[in-house]
Amino acid sequence: MSAHCGQVARTVTGKTRLALVGSPNSGKSTLFNALTGLRTKTGNYPGVTVARYEGTARVGGHEVVVEDLPGTYSLDPISPDEQVVADALDPDNPDIGTPDGILVTIDATTLRRSLGLLAQVMRTGLPICVVLTFRDELTRRGGTLDVSALRRALGVPVVGVTSGSRNDLAQLQSMLLDLAAWERPVVPPPTDPSQRRAWVESLLQSAGYEVPEVDRRTRRIDAVLLHPLWGTLIFFATMFAFFQIIFTVAAPLQDAVQSLFDSLGTLVTEHVPNPLLSGFLGSALIGGVGGVLVFLPQIALLFLMISLLEGSGYLSRAAFLMDRIMARAGLEGRAFVALLSSLACAIPGIMATRSLPSAKDRFATMMGAPLMTCSARLTVYVLLTGLLVSPDTRVGPFGAQGVVMFALYLVGALSAMATAWVFKRFSSRGGPVLPFYMEMPSYRLPRPRSVADAIWSACKGFLHKVGRIILLVTVVLWLLLSLPMHSDAQLRSAGVDPVDRTAVSAYAVDHSYAADIGHAIEPVFAPLGFDWRINIGVLGSLSAREVFVATLGQVAAAQNPEQPAEALTHMTYTDGPHQGEKLFTPATTAALLVFFLYALQCMSTIGVMRRETGSWRWPAVAFGYMFVLAWTMAFLTHTLVGLSA
């Protein structure tokens, strides 16, 4: 879900420019990827593309610039993403260069509706080529369509492209070379709505179009999956199973990576004589960055499952089920789609709010989106859940860790919706709710290539993040944790044997600059049970949530380089009223989990919010309210768990 995030469309000039226009989920992005060889995120899920996106297609030695536009049902825009399309095709708009030609993707199974959009696109007077998609599905579902009759009736070229067929694609590619040869309609379609309906009707008649019956397979599955009671139960059961799998399947993999890093740590302590270098390698790199890297299996698994749910078409059903609940609270279905996108990362979620017609609803949804559990939280959750409950604890037949994780995701989602609702309440006085149109795509087998792409790009993004921001912050934290240097004399006077390296590094950490900073903000977090080390982690996680894991990993590795996980479990308060007591008590761990659930510790999210709203006001509001909420909820959790323990 993250391929479109943060990328700004660049405009390449001087070449033939083609725009891809079509209804949502008509296969634009799949076609775009096939033409350009790029890997834009695709899904069986309307609204995957919300921004303009450009790529270059090479055809017989020539380069053609192809621009993927967001899906739209008409050129009379009601939301910002539809405005993007209308602007891009408007020759009078000076800001955006008008394309030289337009490829209109039309889903053969929803021809009637698609032709309405096509009529509008044909009014632009630009050369047009229709790309007919999903013809294989039309045939499978018993529909008929005479493509040559359709071509004759439209007066523009029509090319049928079946996903994955090289022949079809080659035919389309050969057409891209000569736009001037594209047939133009003899008389453009009418603008008057009733005349346009008559035009569409006549085309369908001429092309012998038989409306495909709803896929029988889809209908049968939907009878259960969209059922108000069973459907909802199945949805929650699916999500529940999802988190069980994250723990049961990923755990052995994670252990394997962990033991690799552990043995690396041992190697470093044994073979690197320089204490500074060995500290850097052992604590910062292996303990810190390695501590984050062990979560790669979980990230891969999360995206495997999301892309399977998405590619099969189930995510649209989930949105539909949730829309019932959300509508009762006066929230739009589109808002839920945006929230759903935030499961991977809040950034595409915030971008997806562009599909919301009302600005107020957009801001309200943007305020809620960062509360959805993103993949960065996953690492923190897995680490802390591991400290909170042992892998052997079971709730009935289920692993307790998975249950805790499910609860965290559930609470995150409910809080996000509640927040959006609250912001909507306060910002608008209940204007009319615009109709929400979300297609239920037929169930399709997820394409292995799309699934692999999704996992690959997620893992790549994760590694990228680990290699840059997390590494950078970890190094800074390592410096703060290791400085100032202590002379042997100082160590001896403090009662530390300078030869015992573990004792020295533990002493250095406890008397570092980082400790000073951590102690300085102790008054804020002491009521939540956090000590200075957690404070430093929380502070560091402001840059990216995973840094928290890296910080704890560093501190633990400094204490016990061979068994950092062990060290973490038995970590105690080093000073203050609780000195010597276990640090990660259930109360503190639960409070930390809740704190991470609510706090907005992500600079990228803040940056995107600033860009999408055009001011610092909304990001400031979001950061403020989320911090207060996080602190309050964590305090309540700490108190409640502390009392019950």
Partner 1 sequence: MSVVPMHPEATADPQTVRWVIPAGTLPVVGEIAEAPDELGKMLHSEDVVSLAVETQAVVIRLADGRSWSGTGARVRDALSAALRHPRQWRPAETVTEDDMLRAALQDVLDGSAGDYIRSHGGEVTIVSAHDRHAEVRMAGTCTHCPAAGFTLHSRLESELRARFPALVELRATEEPGKASRRSWLTLRRRSA
Interface residue list for partner 1 (CB under 8 A): 146, 149, 152-153, 155, 183, 185-190, 194-195, 197-199, 201-203, 205-206, 208
Q: Are 603 and 398 in contact (CB under 8 A)?
A: no
Cα distance between residue 343 and residue 352, in whole Å:
12
Q: Are 89 and 41 in contact (CB under 8 A)?
A: no
Q: How far is the CB of 93 from partner 1 (least distance, A)?
A: 23
Of 149 and 251, the one with the shorter C-beta distance to partner 1 is 149
622-630 LR contacts (CB < 8 Å, sep 24+): 622/366, 622/367, 622/370, 625/367, 626/370, 626/371, 626/598, 626/599, 626/600, 627/599, 627/600, 629/598, 630/594, 630/595, 630/596, 630/597, 630/598, 630/599
Cα distance between residue 625 and residue 292, in whole Å:
28
Of 143 and 642, the one with the shorter C-beta distance to partner 1 is 143
Q: How far is the CB of 197 from partner 1 (least distance, A)?
A: 7
Cα distance between residue 622 and residue 603, in whole Å:
12
Of 194 and 615, the one with the shorter C-beta distance to partner 1 is 194
Burial of 79 (0-12, 13-18, 19+ CB in 10 A): buried
Q: How far is the CB of 195 from partner 1 (least distance, A)?
A: 6
Instruction: Count CB neighbours of 416 within 10 A.
Output: 25
Cα distances (angstroms) measured from residue 573 to each of 164, 295, 484, 591: 60, 27, 22, 16
Q: How far is the CB of 198 from partner 1 (least distance, A)?
A: 4
Peptide bond into 484 cis (omega under 30): yes
Cα distance between residue 310 and residue 337, in whole Å:
12
Cα distances (angstroms) measured from residue 309 to each of 295, 299, 450, 573: 21, 15, 12, 44
Of 153 and 471, the one with the shorter C-beta distance to partner 1 is 153
Of 146 and 488, the one with the shorter C-beta distance to partner 1 is 146
Instruction: Count CB neighbours of 77 within 10 A.
Output: 15
Q: How far is the CB of 182 from partner 1 (least distance, A)?
A: 13
Of 153 and 292, the one with the shorter C-beta distance to partner 1 is 153
Q: How far is the CB of 295 from partner 1 (least distance, A)?
A: 58
Q: Are 74 and 82 in contact (CB under 8 A)?
A: yes
Cα distance between residue 385 and residue 408, in whole Å:
10
CA 99 to chain centre: 30
515-524 LR contacts (CB < 8 Å, sep 24+): 515/481, 517/480, 522/576, 524/631
Of 6 and 190, the one with the shorter C-beta distance to partner 1 is 190
Q: How far is the CB of 151 from partner 1 (least distance, A)?
A: 10
Of 158 and 367, the one with the shorter C-beta distance to partner 1 is 158
Residue 293 in tokens: 């890297």
Cα distance between residue 143 and residue 584, in whole Å:
62
Q: How far is the CB of 154 from partner 1 (least distance, A)?
A: 8
Q: How far is the CB of 144 from partner 1 (least distance, A)?
A: 12
Q: Are 56 and 65 in contact (CB under 8 A)?
A: yes
The DSSP H or E segment spanning 395 is strand 394-395
Cα distance between residue 351 and residue 594, in whole Å:
26
Of 206 and 232, the one with the shorter C-beta distance to partner 1 is 206
Cα distance between residue 206 and residue 289, in whole Å:
64
Of 117 and 470, the one with the shorter C-beta distance to partner 1 is 117
Q: How far is the CB of 194 from partner 1 (least distance, A)?
A: 5
Q: How far is the CB of 137 from partner 1 (least distance, A)?
A: 24
Sheet holding 158-160, edge to edge: 53-59, 62-68, 16-22, 101-107, 128-133, 158-160
Q: How far is the CB of 213 from partner 1 (least distance, A)?
A: 22
Q: How far is the CB of 119 from partner 1 (least distance, A)?
A: 10
Of 197 and 447, the one with the shorter C-beta distance to partner 1 is 197
Of 142 and 188, the one with the shorter C-beta distance to partner 1 is 188
Q: How far is the CB of 193 from partner 1 (least distance, A)?
A: 10
Of 63 and 146, the one with the shorter C-beta distance to partner 1 is 146
Of 205 and 493, the one with the shorter C-beta distance to partner 1 is 205
